[in-house]
Amino acid sequence: MRDPKDWVVTENAHEAILDRVLFERVQAKLGPERWGKGRSAQRPCMLSGLTYCGDCNHRFNGYHKSGKAHGVLHEQDYYNCSGYVSKGRSVCQSFHVTREAVESFAIAEIVARLGNPSLSQELRQRLEDLVRVEFAERPKITEQEIARRSAAARRK
């Protein structure tokens, strides 16, 4: 990450998604250490801690797995249910999804919504709603739902 002294900051460069009062309230709830937890500087998983397991509602965190099979090194980045990692099968049956699948789905959804100007107001409202319920209701997404939405986004 660049040194903050090298940043170029332009205040009010675009219309705000959230009003200043709501933004400040959310920032106060998140606290200074909220962003970046669970992310490795060497292998950042941009959605780590922001998505939830559809089975047990615990957060997904990014992981890197590597190993050798028949003399060949295999490496894979994926998101795994933190409920399974911390508490075992009594909580979850080890739900995990490849990093590629989760992040491709997220990017496809964002691009699809941003490409349609008539959805800008709807998008603004949905973002505000998501921020308001961040700590009460967690979005659930399953691997099948990711695959279904990814396929639908590719067909468009």
SS3 assignment, position 75:
strand
Which of 155, 140, 135, 133 has its CA nearest to residue 57? 140
Residues in the chain: 156
Give the model confidence (pLDDT) of 30-85 as tens digits.
766 544 444 455 556 888 888 888 889 999 888 888 888 888 888 888 889 999 88
Q: For residue 114, which amino acid is it?
A: L
Phi, psi of 46 (to 5 degrees): -65, -20
- What does residue 63 show for φ and ψ, rounded to 5 degrees? -140, 155
Sequence ranges of the domains in the chain: 14-155
Give the separation between CA 40 and CA 37, rounded to whole angstroms.
Answer: 9
156 or 116, higher pLDDT: 116
Instruction: Decide: helix, strand or coil at residue 22.
Output: helix
Which pTM does this prediction carry? 0.45
pLDDT in tens, 120-146: 677 777 777 777 666 554 556 667 777
